[in-house]
Amino acid sequence: MTRAQDSQPSYELNDPLERRLQTRRLGQIIQVQCGVLLLIGTQTLLAQSWFNSALVLLALAVVMLGQQLNKRGATDAAIVLLLVSLTGLVTLSLWFSQGLYSGVLLSYPAILIVAGMVAPVRLFIGLLLAMLASVAGMTYASLSGLLVFHPWPIGVGRMINVSSILVMCAVAVWLLADDLRRTLLRLQQEIQRVKDSEASFTHLAQHDALTNLPNRLLVSDRMEQAIGQARRYGKRVALLFLDLDNFKTINDSLGHAAGDELLKQVALRLQDSVRDMDTVSRQGGDEFLMALSDVDDLAAVSAVAAKVQGRLTQPFNLKGMQIVTSISIGIALFPEDGDDFETLLRHADMAMYQAKAAGRNAFCFFDAQMNAVTRERLSLELDLRQALLRDEFVLHYQPIVDLNTGRLLAAEALIRWQHPERGMVTPDTFIPVAEQSGLIVEIGEWVLHETCRQMMLWQAAGLPRFVVSVNLSSVQFRRGNLESLIRSALDRFGLQPGCLELELTESILLQDSEVFIGLLHRLKALGLRLSIDDFGTGYSNLSYLQRFRVDKLKIDQSFVRRLQGNAQEQAIVTAIIQMAKSLNLLTTAEGIEDEATRQLLAALGCDQGQGYLFARPLAADDFRAFVAATQVPA
């Protein structure tokens, strides 16, 4: 208890605001005391009460000294001096005057009121105990006959004394009440400020800082409420996942400030496209959510989605430019597609990516097949990450032969996945997943090193040298370390660059940048061979055949398999072969499965071929046996 009491004065001393208030209150009280003492002193002089006059004069001196101490900042010392001295002087006046009959007795409560306003707790208690002891002493002295106190007649002097003390008490009480009112006002203002701050923090925690739209936390809460209402009344709720098309291009070309401004304008248009009962939320980046409650049917949801797309196809004004964008929307419905916010969000996200895949600026409803496909893809991607660590990939090699002589000229390395549960998985199944996840880079690096390692083993076993081709992904070109990777593999296994052929797709050649062209020229200068795989199925462009210095065109098997009895397919294949010859390029036909097709291709002038007619893709040991039984050019 003592520590708690002692801490209060220390706290007040260290609080600048409380210190200023204490000093101001003490100054006001001293001024009132001076006036009261002057009035009482005048009355005692007129009454020729010299003892009391001396006490009043002494009290005035103490008050004036306290005033000086207070002005100099020694407020605590001034308080102790004033309260203790005045208590002592009042006690003297009582003992040597009328005792408890004196009106001066009213000074005790006045002093206690002042002490309660400005003094520490210990001083207040000390004064109170001293006053109680004085009263008890005078009572004992009177009862025991040690002193005899006689009341003075009631007159003007007593009235002046009592009135002066009452005025001082009234002023002290008024000052105390005024301080309480001010404190209460400050407290109310502080409470209001805290409430405003809490409201602001709550708003910030539930809204996006850029667009001021509800964030995921708030839309999740509103969505759960809407689902609860829909479950109770048998209604539907729709969750729309919206993603701006080509936002990155706008953001990169015009700057992030323009991108932020676009997002703000998009947010306003989205809000204008729905009812007040619906919620528009920013998920993050260029992604938004719409929660539509009390939905009647799919047509109503489709109408909202179409309205949103129509609003966003109108031009935006950014930096004095007219910017046109579009949006892809995925839609999930309660209760068909999920019964909670997280499930609906996940399914709407899947549907949005389906809309992106359908050509963008479209909306798509979720169906269960999407979920199954996504789960299968995620499972396949997880297994792919483990396949490299578990050494589950193998290479098979398909021979490439001369269509006229049947001699073995080269081979194409084809990856297979020996899955512990799925069995042998073909590239058509896992390569698209590997490209989307970025794992194709690590897989491609493994293929390159394994191909070079196997060629080294074949050459060490005495097999003649021949070319082995490997397929490259566009992701490997974008990674930027392809040249150093190939150099490292050739050096590690001691191979000549001419033994390795890189198969490129037409989509890779569409990059057509200075960096890409420079990379191809360096690979050619290294001594590697370049071929275009599946020629004619992509963006065929005659100009890049010479610019990129390719050596061979591989005619896609879709043309080869329909070659017999199809004049149009024969015309296409003939055009490819003749164009290649005019550019001094070799041609290889893929997917040859019968002798008639081989003879027709040879007659058309095709140089090389591969397919089941000659051999299926073979494991390394089987391919070695095939090579030993086949004539290979020196």
The domains of the chain, with CATH numbers, are 2-185 (no CATH), 216-366 (3.30.70.270), 381-628 (3.20.20.450)
* Amino acid letter, 530: L
Q: How far is CA 152 from CA 80, 149, 156, 185, 476, in A?
A: 32, 10, 11, 47, 115
Instruction: Note the pLDDT tens digit of each residue in 426-472.
Output: 888 888 888 888 888 899 999 999 999 999 999 998 888 899 999 98
Q: How confident is the model at residue 15 (pLDDT cuts 50, 70, 90)?
A: low
Residue 400: count other Cβ atoms within 10 Å of its Cβ.
28
Nearest-10 crossing angle of helices 298-312, 256-272: 140
pLDDT, tens only, 268-323: 999 999 998 999 999 888 999 999 998 888 888 988 999 998 898 888 888 778 88
Q: For residue 370, name the pLDDT band (cuts at 50, 70, 90).
A: low
CA angle 273, 277, 279 (to 5 degrees): 65
Alpha-helical regions (H) of 282-366: 298-312, 341-357
Q: Kindly state the DSSP code that residue 101 receives in the 8-state scheme.
A: G
The residue ranking higher by pLDDT, 2 or 267, is 267
Phi, psi of 169 (to 5 degrees): -60, -45
Sheet-wide strand order for 236-245: 279-284, 287-295, 236-245, 326-334, 363-365
